[in-house]
């Protein structure tokens, strides 16, 4: 199967995703990617080799960085996965090498996933760097594992009230399922007209009560989602105002826009998740239990239809969730291009820049349109297939019920009850499939927003100095450039101007 690697969103983050993959391999525990990002020393384009090695060491990885041309790389004996740097569209990019043969190289990429290159193809990308990674001996884990928790307080009374409304809606909805059976049986009794009027009025009131409870539930859920979003926005804005610039520099402009665009998605998901799951659980268990009591043969037909609807919804929504992340990135690229020419007179007046920007905009806009079209097509096809499954199920229930009626003593009015209850459980099945299939997209969104929520203040850990500094003491200081270690565990006290010299570098204080 090869190694797992997470899905990278920001172009600067390839190094920390490679480290996360090796930590999972050696420690069987997925490190919080935001922890790695917060503790990494980023340069303008991400992690340097020296920063990668230092961060890996802090987390329990022994990293050996080797330089070698492509012939040296090909002659290297391949025992375990390696990391390396490739040139990806003019940008240096960390990847994992999973396998190497005489004909091809198999890599795992945090952007594109697993990919196979022919030897000649990979030679053009290779940057003469080999990174060997192994587990540090006797290392005790101190880094946090991945968590999707967000600390935003919501009134527990809102949860209780919505929970009550969900139970009430299911009771009313389940009761309404008996309408056709009840009115069908009343039709053949004495005083049928009076009975029909009473039944109609009674079930009409049940329907009105269900609609009222549904309206109240959605009003409260919407308010909770907006309150959640407001609190997230307030926290994030306050964090950005006082954040360290070095932490903000770790985010590209595109990624910053992406994080902000995902706040509403996270708010809606976090505030409605417990209710959607609770609602689906109650609807399915109560309906299936009752159908099992009525007729075991019919329930298997409905169960197969439920499974088919779930599979269709799951696959469709899984594909859509994968494409939605790409759609968001393309939308932000369009915004950046429009913003660039709007704000810069130089970009507009330079004819060469104009042609380049126009060509890039048309290409990005076409890709955005294609992605949007694919998503809409998948959703339309999903709805068509589900409607077909449900319509066919209704026909099948009527057919089988009549067969049972001819062969055995079977209450014919149960045809209506089976049909109504199968309709009743269709929605929670679709809702459950939506929840499971959209989990990966919501997880990405939560991780993205968490970084902004965890930003540290500029003065965190700093001491306010009220007196003149007479000396500066360094203890166990390490410094390096690229993959070169300049000094390690340096202990030094500076009381006056100081110049440190070597053959390759000069440092003044």
Residue 198 has pLDDT above 50, yes or no: yes
pLDDT tens, position by position, 302-358: 778 778 877 887 788 778 777 776 777 677 677 777 776 776 666 667 777 778 878
Q: What integer is the mean pLDDT of 483-506?
A: 67
Could you give the 3-state DSSP secondary structure of residue 107? strand
- Beta strand 499-501 with 484-494: parallel, antiparallel or unpaired? unpaired
Residue 501 has pLDDT above 90, yes or no: no
Residue 17 has pLDDT above 90, yes or no: yes
Q: What pLDDT is recorded for position 442?
A: 83
Torsion of CA 397, 400, 401, 407, to 10 degrees: -170
Q: What pLDDT is recorded for position 118?
A: 92
Length of the chain: 509
Q: Which residue has the higher pLDDT, 286 or 374?
A: 374
Distance spanning both ends of the chain, measured CA to CA: 53
447-461 in b/e burial notation, b at 16+ Cβ within 10 A?
bbbbbbbebeeeeee
Closest C-alpha to 39, from 498, 499, 451: 451
Give the pLDDT band of residue 505 (cuts 50, 70, 90).
low
Contacts 24+ apart (CB under 8 A), 67-71: 67/128, 67/129, 67/130, 67/483, 68/128, 68/130, 69/128, 70/123, 70/126, 70/128
Q: Kindly list the domain boundaries of the chain, sorted by start residue.
A: 13-135, 156-454, 473-507
Alpha-carbon span 36 to 55, nearest angstrom: 8
Alpha-carbon span 113 to 4, nearest angstrom: 9
Give the pLDDT band of residue 23 (cuts 50, 70, 90).
very high
Closest C-alpha to 110, from 39, 4, 213: 4
Alpha-carbon span 436 to 449, nearest angstrom: 20
Q: What pLDDT is recorded for position 410?
A: 63
The yes/no answer on whether domain 13-135 falls in CATH 3.50.50.60 is no
- pTM, entire model: 0.72
pLDDT tens, position by position, 47-77: 889 899 999 999 999 999 988 888 888 888 8
pLDDT tens, position by position, 439-449: 777 888 898 89
Residue 465 has pLDDT above 70, yes or no: no
Token pair in block for residue 220: 């409260």
Q: Which residue has the higher pLDDT, 224 or 407?
A: 224
The dihedral region occupied by 132, where left means phi > 0, alpha psi between -120 and 50, and beta the remainder, is beta
Residue 424 has pLDDT above 50, yes or no: yes
Average pLDDT value for the chain: 80
Query: Is-contact 375 327, C-beta < 8 A?
Result: yes
How much of the chain, in percent, has pLDDT values that exceed 70? Answer: 87
Q: What pLDDT is recorded for position 30?
A: 92
Q: How far is CA 373 from CA 60, 223, 377, 380, in A?
A: 46, 32, 6, 11
Q: What pLDDT is recorded for position 187?
A: 76
86-95, 134-143, 277-286, 359-368: lowest mean pLDDT where? 277-286
Closest C-alpha to 326, from 278, 361, 281, 364: 364
pLDDT tens, position by position, 145-179: 988 888 877 777 777 887 888 888 778 877 777 77
User: Cα–Cα–Cα angle for 154, 158, 162, nearest 5°?
Assistant: 135
Q: What pLDDT is recorded for position 214?
A: 83
The yes/no answer on whether domain 156-454 falls in CATH 3.40.50.2300 is no
Q: What pLDDT is recorded for position 508?
A: 47
């Amino acid at each position: 199967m090869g190694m797992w690697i997470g899905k990278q969103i920001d172009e600067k983050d390839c190094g920390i995703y490679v480290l996360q993959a090796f930590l999972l391999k050696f420690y069987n525990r997925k490190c919080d990617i935001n922890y790695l990002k917060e503790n990494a020393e980023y340069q303008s384009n991400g992690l340097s080799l020296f920063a990668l090695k230092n961060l890996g060491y802090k987390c329990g990885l022994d990293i050996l960085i080797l330089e070698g041309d492509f012939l040296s790389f090909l002659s290297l004996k391949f025992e375990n996965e390696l990391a390396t740097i490739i040139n990806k569209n003019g940008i240096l990019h960390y990847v994992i090498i999973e396998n190497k043969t005489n004909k091809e190289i198999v890599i795992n990429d945090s952007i594109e996933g697993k990919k196979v290159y022919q030897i000649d193809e990979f030679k053009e990308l290779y940057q003469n760097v080999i990174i060997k990674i192994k587990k540090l001996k006797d290392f005790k884990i101190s880094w946090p594992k991945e968590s999707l928790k967000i600390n935003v307080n919501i009134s527990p009374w809102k949860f209780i009230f919505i929970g009550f409304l969900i139970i009430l809606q299911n009771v009313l909805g389940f009761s309404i399922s008996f309408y056709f059976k009840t009115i069908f049986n009343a039709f053949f009794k004495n005083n049928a007209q009076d009975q029909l009027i009473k039944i109609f009025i009674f079930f009409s009131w049940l329907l009105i009560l269900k609609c009222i409870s549904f309206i109240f539930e959605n009003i409260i859920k919407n308010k909770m989602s907006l309150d959640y979003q407001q609190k997230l926005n307030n926290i994030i804005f306050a964090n950005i105002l006082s954040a360290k610039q070095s932490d903000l520099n770790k985010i590209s402009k595109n990624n910053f826009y992406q994080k902000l665009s995902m706040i509403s998605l996270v708010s809606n998901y976090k505030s409605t998740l417990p209710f959607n799951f609770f609602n689906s659980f109650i609807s399915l268990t109560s309906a299936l239990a009752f159908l099992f009591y009525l007729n075991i043969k019919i329930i298997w037909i409905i169960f197969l239809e439920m499974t088919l609807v779930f599979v269709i919804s799951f696959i469709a929504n899984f594909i859509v969730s994968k494409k939605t992340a790409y759609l968001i990135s393309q939308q932000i690229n369009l915004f950046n291009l429009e913003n660039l020419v709007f704000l810069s007179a130089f970009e507009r007046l330079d004819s060469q820049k104009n042609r380049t920007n126009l060509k890039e905009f048309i290409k990005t806009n076409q890709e955005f349109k294609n992605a949007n079209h694919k998503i809409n097509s998948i959703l339309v096809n999903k709805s068509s297939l589900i409607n077909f499954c449900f319509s066919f199920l209704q026909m099948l229930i009527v057919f089988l019920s009549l067969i049972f009626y001819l062969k055995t003593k079977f209450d014919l009015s149960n045809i209506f009850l089976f049909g109504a209850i199968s309709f009743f459980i269709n929605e929670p099945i679709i809702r459950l499939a939506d929840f499971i299939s959209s989990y990966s997209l919501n997880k990405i969104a939560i991780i993205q927003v968490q970084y902004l929520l965890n930003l540290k203040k500029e003065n965190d850990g700093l001491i306010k100095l009220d007196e003149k500094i007479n000396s500066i003491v360094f203890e166990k200081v390490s410094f390096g450039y690229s993959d070169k270690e300049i000094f390690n565990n340096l202990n030094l006290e500076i009381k006056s101007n100081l110049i440190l010299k070597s053959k390759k570098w000069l440092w003044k204080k």
